[in-house]
Amino acid sequence: MGLTVGLTSAGVITVLAGGVGAARMLAGLRLVVEPPAITAIVNVGDDTTLHGLHISPDLDTCTYTLAGAINPETGWGLVGETWNAMAALERYGGLTWFRLGDKDLATHLYRTHRLGEGAPLSQITAEITAAWDLGVRLIPATDDRLSTTVTLTDGSTISFQDYFVRLQHGVPITGVAFDGAADARPAPGVLEALAEAETIVIAPSNPIVSIGPLLAVPGLREAIAARRARTVAVSPIIGGAALKGPADRMLRELGHDVSVVGVAKLYAPLAAALVIDEVDAGLADEVAAAGIRPVVAPTVMSTPERAAALGRTVLECLS
Ligand code: GDP
Ligand code: CA
């Protein structure tokens, strides 16, 4: 079966997006809709400043994945990357636990320069994505400061990247907060994309630290809840575990069920349907009891074909 067989005219699709899982979901959706009218509202809670540079990891993961330029070995950064700048930085004892490849640095240089000129992140994101010709519109959830922090068992609070990269998410947490969220405004186009969407998709991203920051921007949760009948979520938890990353441990440590049922409870106020993996078919009744319609399908997007099939499932399950 050719990948472009069975294209649907699905209208406008708006996707709530974190990093890797969302990027694959977007790539799958792009294969099955014609014309592609896909907007992703992307998490910026992971954004950080290093070496004076503004880094937007989830925006970049979505950009590079959709450009076909993601590094397949790491799942982040650019394919064919070199590390000369990092090696040179080591000479000075500079900060190197967050790896920035030579080509990737250009993205951060450009973004930081434009921010310095006063351009909003949404405008800069449009410029960067246009240069890669993605066929998908990426909008940061907000142009304002929104910074995810994590509280550890000793009561200390650290930045998300300190937890995720420096500590390799290997320590238990007691809380997550989104600094600045209360004063953040949705970026231009965000509320319109939610209001206009034929289908809203909550991508299989970390519910706590990828989707959580989006929902913390005043107005977003309400805008999605208002479109609940047209919203479908895909579970990032499969067989009681995350495919990668700390989503499963974070859910447990913050008191949620580590299963599709836990995901169902989080998303039931927002989405009419939850796509759960076939391995979780036995939990479909519990998902339904949590107030969200279960849709059982293969959800591991290990190939573009599988991502496309999941994209089709997502678009068809509300029709
Ligand atoms: P980030 O890349 O670290 O920003 O992470 P995301 O916010 O994308 O979340 C990672 C989550 O995505 C993990 O819980 C994974 O289980 C989930 N995920 C990644 N790839 C897939 C996939 O192909 N299918 C599903 N269902 N979940 C996925
Ligand atoms: Ca992320």
Query: Taking ligand 2, which is a single-atom ion, which protein residues have CB atoms under 5 Å away?
Result: 18-19, 46, 58
Atom of ligand 1 nearest to the CA of 302: 23
Q: Which ligand is nearest to the CA of 21?
A: 1
49-68 as b/e: b if 16+ CB within 10 A: eeeebbbbbbbbbbbbbbbe
- Residue 2: inside a domain: no
Q: Which ligand is nearest to the CA of 17?
A: 1
Atom of ligand 1 nearest to the CA of 236: 27
DSSP for the chain, please give it: --TTTT-B----EEEEE-SHHHHHHHHHHHHHBSS--EEEEE--TT-EEETTEEE-HHHHHHHHHHTT-B-TTTSSSBTT---HHHHHHHHTT---SS---HHHHHHHHHHHHHHHTT--HHHHHHHHHHHHT-SSEEEESBSS--EEEEEETTS-EEEHHIIIIISTT-S-EEEEEEETGGG--BPTTHHHHHHH-SEEEE-SS-IIIIIHHHHTSTTHHHHHHTTGGGEEEE-SEETTEESSSSHHHHHHHTT--SSHHHHHHHHTTT-SEEEEEGGGGGGHHHHHHTTSEEEEE-----SHHHHHHHHHHHHHTT-
Alpha-carbon gap, residue 208 to 199, rounded angstroms: 22
Alpha-carbon gap, residue 132 to 26, rounded angstroms: 15
CATH number at residue 141: 3.40.50.10680
Q: For a pocket test of ligand 1, which of 16, 165, 206 has the largest count of ligand atoms closer than 8 A to its C-beta?
A: 206
Q: Which two tokens stand for residue 278?
A: 């076939």
Residue 217: CB partners within 8 Å, gap ≥ 6?
141, 142, 146, 181, 184, 185, 186, 190
- Residue 65: inside a domain: yes
Alpha-carbon gap, residue 261 to 274, rounded angstroms: 10
Alpha-carbon gap, residue 264 to 280, rounded angstroms: 12
Structural domains of the chain, count: 1
Q: How far does residue 2's CA lie from ligand 2's centre (Å)?
A: 31
Q: Residue 36: give the domain boundaries.
A: 13-316
Q: Which two tokens stand for residue 83?
A: 């590390």
**Residue range 273-284, pLDDT digits in tens:** 999 999 999 999
Q: For a pocket test of ligand 1, which of 15, 16, 20, 25 has the largest count of ligand atoms closer than 8 A to its C-beta?
A: 20
The pLDDT profile of the chain, 319 residues, written as one tens digit per residue, is 345 445 666 689 999 999 999 999 999 999 999 877 999 999 999 999 999 999 999 999 999 999 999 999 889 999 999 999 999 999 999 999 999 999 999 999 999 999 999 999 999 999 999 999 999 999 999 999 999 999 999 999 999 999 999 999 999 999 999 999 999 999 999 999 999 999 999 999 999 999 999 999 999 999 999 999 999 999 999 999 999 999 999 999 999 999 999 999 999 999 999 999 999 999 999 999 999 999 999 999 999 999 999 999 999 999 8
Alpha-carbon gap, residue 126 to 56, rounded angstroms: 13
Atom of ligand 1 nearest to the CA of 301: 23
Q: How far does residue 88's CA lie from ligand 1's centre (Å)?
A: 33
CB 266 within 8 Å of CB 207: yes
Q: How far does residue 107's CA lie from ligand 1's centre (Å)?
A: 23
Q: How far does residue 210's CA lie from ligand 2's centre (Å)?
A: 6
- Residue 7: inside a domain: no
Q: How far does residue 248's CA lie from ligand 2's centre (Å)?
A: 15
Residue list, ligand 1 pocket, CB within 6 Å: 18-22, 24, 58, 61, 204-206, 210, 234-236, 238, 242-245, 247, 299-301
Q: Identify the residue whose C-alpha is closest to ligand 1 atom 27.
A: 236
**Residue range 174-204, pLDDT digits in tens:** 999 999 999 999 999 999 999 999 999 999 9
Q: How far does residue 295's CA lie from ligand 2's centre (Å)?
A: 26
